[in-house]
Structure 1
Amino acid sequence: MGEEVDHQEFSRADRTRHREKVRRSLDVLASMLREPAFAAEDPMTGLEVELNLVDAQEEPSLSSAEVLDAVADPDFQTELGQFNVEINVAPARLRPAAPGGPGGLTVFEESLRRSLNDAEAASAPLGAHLVMIGVLPTLGHGHMTPASLSPNPRYALLSEQILAARGEDIVIDVKGVERLETATDSIVPEAACTSTQLHVQTSPEDFAPYWNASQAISGIQLALGANSPFLLGRELWRETRIPLFEQATDTRSEELKAQGVRPRVWFGERWVTSVFDLFEENVRYFPALLPIVDDEDPAAVLAEGGVPSLAELRLHNGTIYRWNRPVYDIADGVPHLRVENRVLPAGPTVVDTMANAAFYFGLVRALVEEDRPVWSRMSFSAAEENFHLGARHGIEAEVYWPGVGQAAATELVLRRLLPLAHDGLLAWGAETAEADRLLGVIEQRCLQGTNGAEWFVRRVHAETSLERPEALRRALRDYREHMHSNEPVHTWEVPAAR
């Protein structure tokens, strides 16, 4: 969800003070990185899932405030749109907490499933139902207005600042199987993008390898996990959430794009050697959207043996939407670093979500521990091209991989990457049976050629006698029923064309 802020206006002096403070905070972070200050001995992993709310007709339900009151669980929080909520699952280590006990992935799975069931039971009497999907296919143009924003002041303030920086309406133009062209006077289209966020805690020394590995496999993640094929009634990319998010928060005018100014939703432009590289780029390239200045003197706090909050640096970082984001945070008075992997959409089921998590956690660990890192054998531009190929084509994508060349993503996963992911999970301390079960879902998804996006497209096209809006509603109804069965998406049937 990000840091809470109050609605306010900013002066030129506010922006000058903020720039000076965030640069001082960057200097303090550099000092901290030279000292053994960070928790890293026994790293944790984390999971967040963003959800959509629909009514009995499968239309968006603008009821997040009422649902959150009914759920009454601090793990559920507001998101950008009134048709969104977010679940934050408690961090865990991937190895079993006790001999013979469940591993961390199973703990995540049980916790997420229990939270979803409880929330569905609490929201159903309100006429609202939860859906895990990357882009809600029944969203209409009428939902893309400022009235759909959550009442949290952060979101209205962000929308105002992004539109002010851009100086004109935001244009959404996505060319896929079909084409969508529309414009908006708010960042509400960003709310259409609901994701699964995976967190890996690292030491300062290991951060760059984990971030580089995460970047290298992002296109593969998208190919396997695509789940956003429709937006505003149009069939676009298999993971339409990617171009939509890139465009919905773009502060650049056409002239600034032509000048090469970086976008705030950013894959990046190079492999890194330190977490400092990413925070420094954030400060150097991007003006503050929320130039709020805290009273803390971070240098004084550090000199006195304390842990500075670096509030300005963290808030600024939260308004730059890297697909793999660096995170500085504090837990129990100890600072830590983590990679936040923001590539994947939500859904389709809890077991699919955990299979995606197992593949990510295992594969990045294995790639980091290779003698010759994959990012030393692969250009950054190739990783970025894979990212967009995976988003556009999903499970049918062909990608580049060092030593292989261009290959079907499914073949690459089956022949090379699944064994690596399995080894990586065991290196984390996961149980063999747990790794086999979850990575077996990925294996079957590749063999069947079916992920969430493919199932949904086939399901919609099976309704040959219906107009697109009704076909989308019926497909989403079936999707929700399958979602609650928790059977992986590759096992879902598609009715014959009718």
Structure 2
Amino acid sequence: MGEEVDAQEFSRGDRTRHRAKVRRCLDVFARMLGESRFDTEDPLTGMEVEFNLVDAEGDPALKNEEALAAIADPDFQTELGRFNIEVNAAPASLRDGGLTSFEERLTATIERAEKRSSEVDAHLVMIGILPTIDGEHLSSESLSSNARYHLLSDQILDARGEDIEIDIEGPERLQVTTDTIMPEAACTSTQFHVQTSPEEFAAHWNASQAVAGVQVALGANSPFLLGRQLWHETRIPLFEQSTDTRSEELKVQGVRPRVWFGERWITSVFDLFEENVRYFPALLPIVDPEDPEEVLASGGVPELRELRLHNGTIYRWNRPIYDVAEGRPHLRVENRVLGAGPSVVDMIANAAFYFGLVRSLADADRPLWSQMSFSAAEENFHSAARNGIGSTLYWPGYGEVGAAELTLRALLPMAHEGLAAWGVSAAERDKYLGIIEQRCVTGTNGASWFIDQVERSGSSDPATLRRVLRDYRAHMLSNQPVHTWQA
């Protein structure tokens, strides 16, 4: 969830003051990294899940304010579109049944929220892109009332200087033009957080980048947009294009996009924050009264709000997070590559695979990223988004290999080792990683299941998409893994 902001306009002076302040924050952050002031005693993990809201027929329900009022739970918040909400799962340790606890708490939370929001005809759906969205739902009238989202939309369009063009080609092709960032609202995700020390951050981030392609291949869940079958994880190109502040001329010049995989392996978390400040102008140049240098000198913990807000408007698929909890600063990797769903148990399986695999790679004597080019990791990521569980990826020692075969032969054993290092029991490892194994064996994830159901109908017309979505939602609420779903 992003920082809350008030509606306002920004002058040239605001931007000048913000630039100076964010650089001061960066200097203070560098000092803090050198002085080891971070909470690293008991690293926690966390999750965020974004939902679509639909009516009884499966069409988007523009009722997030009514739904939130009915749900009446502070863990739920608005998101960009009026048909979106988000829930934050409380951070927890993975040891002593942590994965099971995540599943039980999230399942109970969703059941309670669904029961209450259904009273206002707003039902929850966890899917990367809602297939029943049409062009009318992606207009500025569908933006949430939160001032942050209107400011972001205005600032992105102003920076771009022209309307946004969406052009995605898969089995079908979609070309649309929009004067708002609302297409971003069609993208709903599951986000995993892993806390780490400053010394170990680079290894965890590099590992997260290296496995992003495999994650997307196994967890793809957004094959349809505006009635067209596109990529298995259409959410990836849609998000990249819908928040792009660059004109065509700036793209040709090599200016970096705000939705960014990155361009190199890192040696420190500072690399990422420094790149953010060096490469990207502020979208929300809000200056906070805090003097971070004075706070640090007095023994306090600076909030570094300008640095954090700026970081929140640069959409790395693995984002660095600086935060303060109970008066202590900490660092997290925020893994943002997966769409929401299909079921809670599927998402916990995805979490187990990610947490275990990254831990194993981060602890390895010989780093994977010393054997693999960064461009290969990025190519894996986009190939997996296009082709899903049938993707062919590059992996050191295997060359070009199917994502499912790679996972079965090499990555699942590594994920087991990593989860064991986290203190996860053998029973939990077997349960959740067993779901990943069966996805690979059956070749079934959310995207492939949805595509198969539509193809059986012989048409992707609106009525078919609504019907398949209703079936999807019934399976979702049963909390059975997607590879077991029947037609």
Measured after TM superposition, the shift of residue 23 of structure 1 is 0.3
Q: Supply the AA of the counterpart residue of 1:488.
A: P
Q: Distance in 2 between matches of 1:152 and 1:463?
A: 40
Q: Distance in 1 between matches of 2:466 and 2:250?
A: 40
Q: Supply the AA of the counterpart residue of 2:380.
A: N
SS of equivalent to 1:342: strand
Q: Deviations over 1:72-98 (max 9, x none)?
A: 0011011000000001000000001xx
Alignment of 1:12-161 (within 5 A): 12-96=12-96, 103-161=97-155
TM-score by length of 2: 1.00
Partner of residue 181, structure 1: 175
Alignment check: 8 A CA contact 2:227 2:460 kept: no
2:461 is the counterpart of 1:468: yes
Among residues 381, 385, 398, which one is paired with 1:391 in the alignment? Answer: 385
2:188 is the counterpart of 1:194: yes
Q: Distance in 1 between matches of 2:201 and 2:257?
A: 23
2:359 is the counterpart of 1:346: no
Q: Deviations over 1:1-48 (max 9, x none)?
A: 200000100000000000000000000000000012000121000000
Q: Deviations over 1:326-375 (max 9, x none)?
A: 00000000000000000010000000000000000000000011110100
Q: Deviations over 1:275-323 (max 9, x none)?
A: 0000000000000000000001101110110000000000000000000
Q: Give 4+ residue runs of structure 1 displaced > 2 Å after superposition.
A: none
Q: Distance in 2 between matches of 1:189 and 1:333?
A: 37
Q: Distance in 2 between matches of 1:394 and 1:198?
A: 20
Q: Distance in 2 between matches of 1:305 and 1:225?
A: 44
Partner of residue 330, structure 2: 336
Partner of residue 417, structure 2: 423
Partner of residue 487, structure 1: 480
Measured after TM superposition, the shift of residue 467 of structure 1 is 5.6
Alignment check: 8 A CA contact 2:45 2:193 kept: yes
Q: Supply the AA of the counterpart residue of 1:374.
A: L
How many residues end up aligned between the 2 structures? 487
Alignment of 1:239-254 (within 5 A): 239-254=233-248
2:267 is the counterpart of 1:273: yes
Q: Supply the AA of the counterpart residue of 1:19.
A: R
Q: Supply the AA of the counterpart residue of 1:444.
A: Q
Q: Distance in 2 between matches of 1:491 and 1:267?
A: 33
Alignment of 1:268-307 (within 5 A): 268-307=262-301
SS of equivalent to 1:269: coil
Alignment of 1:214-233 (within 5 A): 214-233=208-227
Q: Distance in 1 between matches of 2:134 and 2:71?
A: 27
Identity %: 70
TM-score by length of 1: 0.97
Q: Distance in 2 between matches of 1:125 and 1:203?
A: 45
Q: Supply the AA of the counterpart residue of 1:182.
A: V
SS of equivalent to 1:393: helix
Q: Supply the AA of the counterpart residue of 1:474.
A: R
Q: Supply the AA of the counterpart residue of 1:51.
A: F
Q: Distance in 2 between matches of 1:81 and 1:112?
A: 22
2:302 is the counterpart of 1:308: yes
Partner of residue 451, structure 1: 445
Alignment check: 8 A CA contact 2:131 2:225 kept: yes
Measured after TM superposition, the shift of residue 469 of structure 1 is 1.0
Partner of residue 99, structure 1: none
Question: Alignment RMSD, CA only?
Answer: 0.6
SS of equivalent to 1:344: strand
Q: Distance in 2 between matches of 1:125 and 1:26?
A: 47
Measured after TM superposition, the shift of residue 199 of structure 1 is 0.2
SS of equivalent to 1:424: helix
Q: Distance in 2 between matches of 1:221 and 1:236?
A: 19
Q: Deviations over 1:179-212 (max 9, x none)?
A: 0000111000000000000000000000000000
Q: Supply the AA of the counterpart residue of 2:21.
A: K
Pair 1:467–1:243, CA change in 2 (3 A): closer
SS of equivalent to 1:4: coil
Partner of residue 370, structure 1: 364
Q: Distance in 2 between matches of 1:84 and 1:108?
A: 22
Q: Which runs of 5+ in 1 are unaligned?
A: 97-102
Q: Deviations over 1:389-414 (max 9, x none)?
A: 11000000000000110000000000
2:315 is the counterpart of 1:321: yes
SS of equivalent to 2:22: helix
Among residues 404, 409, 418, which one is paired with 2:398 in the alignment? Answer: 404
Q: Distance in 2 between matches of 1:389 and 1:210?
A: 22
Q: Distance in 1 between matches of 2:14 and 2:55?
A: 43
Q: Supply the AA of the counterpart residue of 2:478.
A: S
Among residues 228, 233, 237, which one is paired with 1:234 in the alignment? Answer: 228
